[in-house]
Amino acid sequence: MTLFEAVLIAIVEGITEFLPISSTGHMIITEKLLGMKADAFTKAYLVNIQFGAILSVVVLYWKRFIKSLDFYYKLLAAFVPTAILGFLLNDHIDALLDNVHVVAITLLLGGILLVFIDRWLDPKEEVEINYRRSFMVGLYQSIAMVPGVSRSAATIIGGMLQGMTRKQAAEFSFFLAVPTMFAASAYKLLKGVQETPGLFNEDNLGILLLGNVVAFVVAMAAIRFFIAFLTRHGFRWFGWYRIVLGTVLLILLAMGTDLSVV
């Protein structure tokens, strides 16, 4: 992996992680278009630059993270479904990460849903985020283990189905990203070290550190933009973006375009 590839993927991660357009899907697409080699470090890098993105949430919302233990208990209730299903289905999920067809289809279908979701759901008053609502959002989050679905989209829509406002659901989605992405990144990091001795040598550690710094800075800007845009405009434009991107990918694949990693 070159420094250019590392920085570009980190920028993609920072922009897309908290938007409802699928960060995993976009990183896979970027990886394929760049023709990057699917080696052990590349796969580890795609997961572990999430550390930078989740740190941006902690920095921006640090007051919420020191408010009370109840805050963490509710995040735990939401985290449990994904943790259990992720552990049980990890190998199946990994197999999907190289499948651009899956990404294209889920981007398209998710986009259609986002175009219409504001007509179906638009709560105006904030509700109490209790344990039942937290757990239900966690169930929706587990759907996003399929590449292209978008963890952000699944959890925000799940929150709105529980009566949360757009902003309330979006912020809870950000908070839930911290334990979810930290656990996924830490697990992949440990697994990578065990399976590939010397995976994180001095050069690779430098690239990984740079990627996390870039992802952190970009994600902070993306979160601020997203909250303002979502509150004013809703999901429609994100939906149309997903539809266009998913359609373009399906057309390219149908034409026989090689989007596989070399």
Q: What is the C-alpha separation between 109 and 194, in angstroms, rounded?
A: 37
Unique residue bearing structure tokens 């760049």: 34
> What pLDDT is attached to residue 129?
93
Rounded CA gap, 36 and 104, in Å?
19
Residue by residue, pLDDT tens for the chain (262 residues) are: 888 999 999 999 999 999 998 887 888 788 888 887 777 788 888 888 889 999 999 999 999 999 889 999 999 999 999 888 877 776 666 666 667 888 888 999 999 999 998 888 877 888 999 999 999 999 999 988 888 888 899 999 999 999 999 999 999 999 999 998 888 888 877 887 787 777 778 788 889 999 999 999 999 999 999 999 988 888 999 999 999 999 998 998 888 776 654 3
Alpha carbon of 87 to those of 81, 94, 158: distances in Å? Answer: 10, 11, 22
Q: What is the pLDDT of residue 217?
A: 96
pTM of the predicted structure, to 2 decimals: 0.86
Residue 98 confidence (pLDDT): 63
Domain boundaries, the chain: 3-254
Give DSSP secondary structure letters for 60-125. HTHHHHTS-HHHHHHHHHHHHHHHHHHHHHHHHHHHHTT-HHHHHHHHHHHHHHHHHHHHH----S
Supply the Cα-derived Rg of the chain in whole angstroms.
Answer: 18
Short-list 108, 163, 93, CA closest to 134: 163
Q: Is 234 helix (H, G, I), strand (E, B) or coil?
A: coil
The secondary structure of residue 146, as a DSSP letter, is: S
Give the pLDDT of residue 90: 67
pLDDT score for 91: 66
The one-letter amino acid code at 161 reads L
Backbone angles phi, psi at 247, to 5 degrees: -65, -45
Q: What is the pLDDT of residue 261?
A: 43
How far lies 40's CA from each of 53, 149, 174, 187, 218, in Å?
A: 21, 24, 28, 14, 25
Nearest to 158 by CA among 180, 182, 134, 179: 134
